[in-house]
Amino acid sequence: MARLDVTEVFHGISFPGHLHTQESLEHALKFQFQDTDILIVSYPKSGTTWIQEIVTLISNRGDSHLSQTVPNWTRAPWLEQYYFTAVLEASSTTPRLITTHLPHHLLGPALQGTKAKVIYVSRNPKDVVVSYYHFHKMANFLPKVDTFAEFLKGFLEGTLHFGSWFDHIKGWTSPTAAIDNLLHITYEEMSLDLPGSIKRMSSFLQCPLVEDEVINCVKHCSFSSMRDNKMINYTLVSEDIMDHSKGSFMRKGEVGDWKHTFTEEQNQYFESIFTSKMQGCTLEFVWEK
C-alpha cells in the first residue's frame, strides 16, 4: 500500500501530501471568495470540527437533520483539498461553508476585498499540542510520532504539519490582518459558555436564534452528541486514513488536559518559548478549567 504520510512542503510549511498536493494548495491560494461565504479558520486541534457543527446547526436553526445525515467534510469542505474546492466552485448553494488550516500570510491575499465572514477559532496551545500528539497516533496521513518530548519540540519550533502555531494565531488575529468580517472565538469560551458562544456566532452570522433554537444547538453540539455522530466523529473514513483502534477523534474534549501529559520541565520549556514568541501580543489564554 502507498504510504499515506508523504510530506508536501509548500512555502516552507509541511502539509500532509496525501491530502494536500502542491496543485491543491496553489489552487486554494487563488480561491475566489464570495461575499456570502463563511470561512472557518484554525490551527489543527483547536476546535475546528466543533465550529463546523455549530455553524451547521445555526444555519439550520437548531435542526440537526443535516448534521446527522451529511458528513462534515461535505458540509464544510476543506479549502486546501482540490476535490472539495472543485465541488465548492461548482456549487450554487449560499452561503458556502468552507474550512481551512492555512496561515494568514498564505491565504490573506485571497480574502482581501471580500466581505466573506471568517470565524477564527483558537485554543490554549498546551491543550493543542497534546491533542495534536494523540491525533498523530491515529491519523495515518500524518508522520509517525515518537515521544511527546520530541513532538513538543517540533510544535515549539514550528516544524509540524501546518507550520507554527505562533505564526498562525498572530497572523490571523493581528490588527494588520485587515479582514473586514472576522470573529475570534476560543475553545475555552465555548467550553465555559456554549449557549453564549452560539449566540455570539449566530449574531455574527446575522442569523439570530430564539431561545429554543439555541437550546437545540447546544444539545446537538455537546461533546457526547458529537462523539456519537458518525457524520462528525470520522468513523466513516477508511481505516488506512484514520485508525480508530489507536484512538478517537473525539478524544476528551477538556480544557487543561495538558496537565496529564506535560512534565514540570516541559512546562518550563514551553513557558520560556511562549513568552518570547508571544511578546507584544495582547491575547489572553485560559489554561485550565
Whether 16 contacts 78, CB under 8 Å: no
- Binding of residue 165 to ligand A3P (CB under 6 A): no
Q: Least distance in Å: CB of 257 to ligand A3P?
A: 6
Could you tell me the smallest distance in angstroms from the CB atom of residue 100 to ligand A3P? 12
**What is the identity of the amino acid at 247?**
G
Residue 51 Cβ vs ligand A3P, minimum distance, rounded to whole Å = 8
Task: State the nearest-atom distance from the C-beta of 163 to ligand A3P, in Å.
Answer: 15
Q: Which amino acid, residue 33?
A: F
Measured from each CB, the residue nearest to ligand A3P is 253
How far is residue 268's CA from residue 271's CA, in Å, rounded to a whole number? 5
Contact flag: residue 50 with ligand A3P (CB under 6 A): yes
Report the residue number, 114 or 172, with the smaller CB distance to ligand A3P. 172
Q: Which of 20, 101, 104, 161 is catalytic?
A: 101
Tell me how far the alpha carbon of residue 53 is from its chain's centroid. Answer: 12
Strands 117-122 and 97-100: unpaired
The residue (of 73 and 82) whose beta carbon lies closer to ligand A3P is 73
Decide if residue 124 touches ligand A3P (CB under 6 A).
Answer: no
- Asked if 105 interacts with ligand A3P (CB under 6 A), we say no
Instruction: Indicate which single residue of 246, 252, 259, 289 sits in contact with ligand A3P (rule: CB under 6 A).
Output: 252
168 binds ligand A3P (CB under 6 A): no
81: contact with ligand A3P by CB under 6 A: no
| Binding to ligand A3P in span 211-240, by CB under 6 A | 221-223, 226
Name the residue nearer to ligand A3P (CB basis): 96 or 220.
220
95: preceding bond cis by omega (within 30 degrees): yes
Cβ neighbourhood burial of 134 (10 Å; 0-12, 13-18, 19+): buried
- Burial label for 32, CB within 10 Å (0-12, 13-18, 19+), is exposed
Q: Is 47 in the site for ligand A3P (CB under 6 A)?
A: yes
* Complex with ligand A3P: residue 67 or 114, whichever CB lies closer: 67
Nearer to ligand A3P, 114 or 232 (CB): 232
Output the smallest distance, CB 37 to ligand A3P, in A. 20
The whole-angstrom separation of Cα 153 and Cα 269 is 9
48 binds ligand A3P (CB under 6 A): yes
Does residue number 134 form part of the binding site for ligand A3P (CB under 6 A)? yes
Using CB under 6 A as the binding rule, whether residue 78 contacts ligand A3P is answered as: no
List residues binding ligand A3P (CB under 6 A): 42, 44-50, 127, 131, 134, 221-223, 226, 250-253, 257
Residues that are catalytic: 101
